[in-house]
Amino acid sequence: MRLEIDNFPVEEMQFGDETSYNDGLLTINKEEALEVVKKDEHITEADIVFARPGEEKRIVPVKEAVEPRYKEDDGAVFPGVTDDVESVGSGKTKALKNCSVLGIGKHWGSFGDGLIDMSGEGAKYTYFSQLNNICLVADTDEEFERHEQQKKNHAIRWATHRLAKYLATAVKDLEPQKEDVEEFELAPITKRDKKTQELPSVVYVMQPQSQIEELGYNDLVYGWDTNRMLPTLMHPNEILDGAIIGGSYMCCSSKWATYDFQNCPTIKKLYEQHGETINFLGVIMSNLNVVLEQKERAALFVQQLSTSLGADAAIIAEEGYGNTDADFIECFKLLEEAGIKTVGMTNECTGSDGHSQPLVSLDDAADAIVSCGNVSALIELPPMETVIGELESLARDGLAGGWEDDEKLGPSVREDDSIIMANDSMFCGDQVLGWSPKTVKEF
């Protein structure tokens, strides 16, 4: 399976009469773009604003991030979501690079929403501060969940995907610079050359968020709720090409947005090493569960798939922490029992006092874990000149890292609009899929 991604770097953004791309400049017909957004009658208010790296802007509550993509011959960009269910991962896809479309609540936030600072101290905590962001700021009539701490945010999230698909049509008839073309090709496992087959075989185990039994909160695979699946083998190209979109449930620093799946650094790094130092077998898409029996069943499937593929080693990454640590460690344990050397990637939670066990579940077999951050770490940030969205939502609406008041720390949002919050609310801040800049100090 061969996938070509033609990248068109966005260096500047503006509004104009026609949605177009020219030499790094993305021009957006705002009225036309908002028509695409408002195809869902549940969108009651919507606006599009820009946020560039270095600007004194704070964005909250952020619900989703998507890289604008166009599929050759009008193929499916997000199958099962914006398009019919059809296979992705091959052919040609065009992408607006160095930018993202952010879905933002104009008023109401929720447990899984986060914050992005485009400059200052806060910018270092999230990858999205480095991108040119097209911010869809919207409200909906989804009254049934307005005052719920956990929201599906369906209308805003789906509108974000529609907008991303629309914006990428600006480059559908353009040809990229040669250096801006990425190629991903992985031969069938039994058809690889002798040199590759003699290299250590590595499988990547991804555990996307799938804990909520009610549909609509979890990540989706080809539009299918991950709570309804068992671990399965996927071609890495499918993941890079829109087969998976992020959900609304998960403390935000732990979350994998759709943008993260589209650009998964670990998959790209495994591709770089394929045929050189490793034989990259593919991706086992697993799930995260609540009931112990479900966790054990999923781990057994991961073990069986890995051994059947002939894996010598595995990388395992979980989207989340707490209850999900049990799934993460159970997979780790069974892979090691099968003789498969395993490295784990996750963040940790030490509690506000720093004294809690960093992972809820541990095992001696899990002796190689890369920590991508501590969700409990406290962050204090000064006020910003501009707020995109609504700053009050951080404290009022149950965002995972915010609070209305604390007897020692006071409210998350102070009178001067400076904030104190847990790392939990930094939008996709722990970047477990492979681009976390965080490290540790030894004392």
In a domain, 223, yes or no: yes
Q: Please tell me whether residue 201 adopts helix, strand or coil conformation.
A: strand
> Which single residue is written with the structure tokens 């109401």?
108
Q: Cα angle vertex 265, ends 334, 163, to 5°?
A: 115
188 preceded by a cis bond (ω within 30 of 0): no
Q: Which two tokens stand for residue 440?
A: 């540790």
Distances (CA, A) of 43 to 19, 39, 51, 169, 351: 22, 8, 22, 23, 38
In a domain, 53, yes or no: yes
pLDDT at 360: 81
- Summarised one tens digit per residue, pLDDT across range 172-227 is 999 999 999 999 999 999 999 999 999 999 999 999 999 999 999 999 999 999 99
In a domain, 166, yes or no: yes
Percent of the chain with pLDDT over 70: 99
**What is the number of domains present in the chain?**
1
Higher per-residue confidence, 256 vs 360: 256
Q: Residue 36: pLDDT above 70?
A: yes
In a domain, 210, yes or no: yes
Q: Residue 439: pLDDT above 80?
A: no
In a domain, 442, yes or no: no
- Summarised one tens digit per residue, pLDDT across range 406-424 is 999 999 999 999 999 999 9
Query: What contacts 320, CB < 8 A, 6 or more positions away?
Result: 209, 211, 250, 251, 254, 288
Ramachandran area for residue 21 (φ above 0: left; ψ -120 to 50: alpha; else beta): beta
Over range 337-346, report the average pLDDT: 97
Distances (CA, A) of 432 to 241, 252, 370: 19, 12, 9
**240 touches 262 (CB < 8 A):** yes
Distances (CA, A) of 234 to 77, 240, 319, 433: 17, 11, 17, 16
List of E strands, 106-259: 114-117, 132-140, 181-185, 201-207, 220-221, 224-225, 232-234, 244-245
Percentages helix, strand, coil for the chain (3-state, rounded to 5) are 25, 30, 45
Q: In whole angstroms, what is the distance from residue 181 CA to residue 175 CA?
A: 10
End-to-end CA distance of the chain: 48
Q: Residue 45: pLDDT above 90?
A: yes
- Summarised one tens digit per residue, pLDDT across range 124-166 is 999 999 999 999 999 999 988 888 889 999 999 999 999 999 9
In a domain, 441, yes or no: no
In a domain, 71, yes or no: yes
Q: Residue 357: pLDDT above 90?
A: no
Q: What is the domain extent for residue 176?
A: 2-425
pLDDT at 328: 95
User: How far from the centroid of its chain's Cα atoms is residue 81's Cα?
Assistant: 16
- The pTM for the full model equals 0.96
pLDDT at 394: 96
pLDDT at 147: 85
Higher per-residue confidence, 361 vs 261: 261
**Whole-number average pLDDT of the chain:** 95
pLDDT at 443: 63
Instruction: Determine phi and psi for 102, rounding to 5 degrees.
Output: -100, 130
Over range 23-34, report the average pLDDT: 98
Residue type, 388: I
- Summarised one tens digit per residue, pLDDT across range 61-76 is 999 999 999 999 899 9
Higher per-residue confidence, 358 vs 157: 157
Q: Which two tokens stand for residue 79?
A: 């199958």
**137 touches 277 (CB < 8 A):** no
pLDDT at 442: 67
In a domain, 231, yes or no: yes
**77 touches 124 (CB < 8 A):** no
74 exposure class (CB count in 10 Å sphere: 0-12, 13-18, 19+)? exposed
Closest residue by Cα to residue 301 from 293, 215, 237 = 293
Over range 299-317, report the average pLDDT: 98
Percent of the chain with pLDDT over 90: 90
- What is the DSSP secondary-structure string of 131-171? SEEEEEEEEE--GGGTT-SS---HHHHHHHHHHHHHHHGGG
Query: What contacts 92, CB < 8 A, 6 or more positions away?
Result: 4, 5, 6, 71, 72
pLDDT band at 351, cuts 50/70/90? confident
**283 touches 309 (CB < 8 A):** no
- Summarised one tens digit per residue, pLDDT across range 373-388 is 999 999 999 999 999 9
Number of Cβ within a 10 Å radius of residue 380:
12
> Which single residue is written with the structure tokens 């090493």?
273
